[in-house]
Amino acid sequence: MKHLLMLLCLVFFAGQVFARAPLPGDSVYQLEVRLTDQDGHDWPWAARRGHVQVVSMFYTSCTMVCPMVVDTMKLTAKALDESARGRLDLLLVSFDPARDSVAALREYADRRKLNAPPWTLARAESQDARQLAALLGLQYRQLPDGDFNHSSELILLDADGRILARSDVMGRLDPDFVQAVRKALAAK
C-alpha cells in the first residue's frame, strides 16, 4: 500500500513536471500536425516529445535512395551500445499519402523487419507532410510518373524536439552523427 502510494505520488509528480515544462521555441513540436502509424494509431506529432529520436522522410514504393535511408538508420542504431540503442527511437514519415496507407506502411515494416519499438513508420495528410518537411529542412517533389525526387537526410531530435544534428551521408556510417546520437542519449 505504501509502495503504491509512493508510486502514485511519483507518477503524479512526474506528470506535473512534464505538463508544466514549456515547449522550447525552437522545438519542432511547436507544429500542430497529426500522424498515423503502421498500426493505424493516430496521434499529434508532439506526442513524440520525451524521446531522443532519429527522423527521416521516405515513401515505401521508392527503389532508389530510400532503402539506403533505412539502412543508414539501422547502421546508426547498431553502432550504439545496447543500453543506448534501447533508448533511441527511429521514425520514418512518408510524403506519399496517396499510396502509403496504413497497410502499405505495415507491409513495408514487415518486409524490412522494422519492428516497433524502436521503429515507427507514419503517414500524414499531404499538407501536413509538406509542413513537416519544411520544418525538418527536407525537400521532395512528386514526378508525373508517381515517383519522387527528394533529399535524403537523417535528423537527430532531442527529447524536447530540438534539432541537434543532421547527416546526408547515406549507405555508410557518419561518425560525427553517431557521436551526436551518443551524446544526446547520454544527456537524457
Partner 1 sequence: MNALRSLPILMLGALLSLPAAAANYAALPGGLFTSVMPADGKAAPVTIEPFQLRTEPVTNAEFLAFVQTHPQWRRDRVAGIFADGRYLSHWAAADVLGSEAQPSQPVTQISWFAAQAYCESEQARLPSWYEWEYAAAADDHRADARNDPAWRERVLAWYGRPSNTPLPAIGGAADVHGVSDLNGLVWEWVGDFNALLVGVDSRDQDGADKLKFCGAGALTMQQKENYASLMRVAMLSALKASDTTSSMGFRCARSH
* Residues within the interface to partner 1 (CB under 8 A): 23-28, 30-31, 62, 64-66, 68, 127, 130-131, 133-135, 137-145, 147-152, 168, 170-171
CB of 12 to partner 1, least distance (A): 29
Q: Is 5 helix (H, G, I), strand (E, B) or coil?
A: helix
Tell me if 64 sits within 8 A of 171, measured CB to CB: no
Complex with partner 1: residue 19 or 144, whichever CB lies closer: 144
Complex with partner 1: residue 32 or 39, whichever CB lies closer: 32
CB of 19 to partner 1, least distance (A): 18
How far, in whole angstroms, is CA 12 from its chain's centroid?
28
Residue 174 backbone class (left: φ over 0; alpha: ψ -120 to 50; beta: rest): beta
- Give the strand order in the sheet containing 52-58: 42-44, 34-37, 119-123, 88-94, 52-58, 154-157, 163-167
φ, ψ at 83 (rounded to 5°): -70, -35
Q: Which residues contact 16 (CB under 8 A, 6 or more apart)?
A: none
Peptide bond into 97 cis (omega under 30): no
CB of 157 to partner 1, least distance (A): 12
CB of 132 to partner 1, least distance (A): 10
CB of 125 to partner 1, least distance (A): 13
Q: Which of 80, 26, 90 is nearest to 58 (CA)?
A: 90
Complex with partner 1: residue 111 or 144, whichever CB lies closer: 144
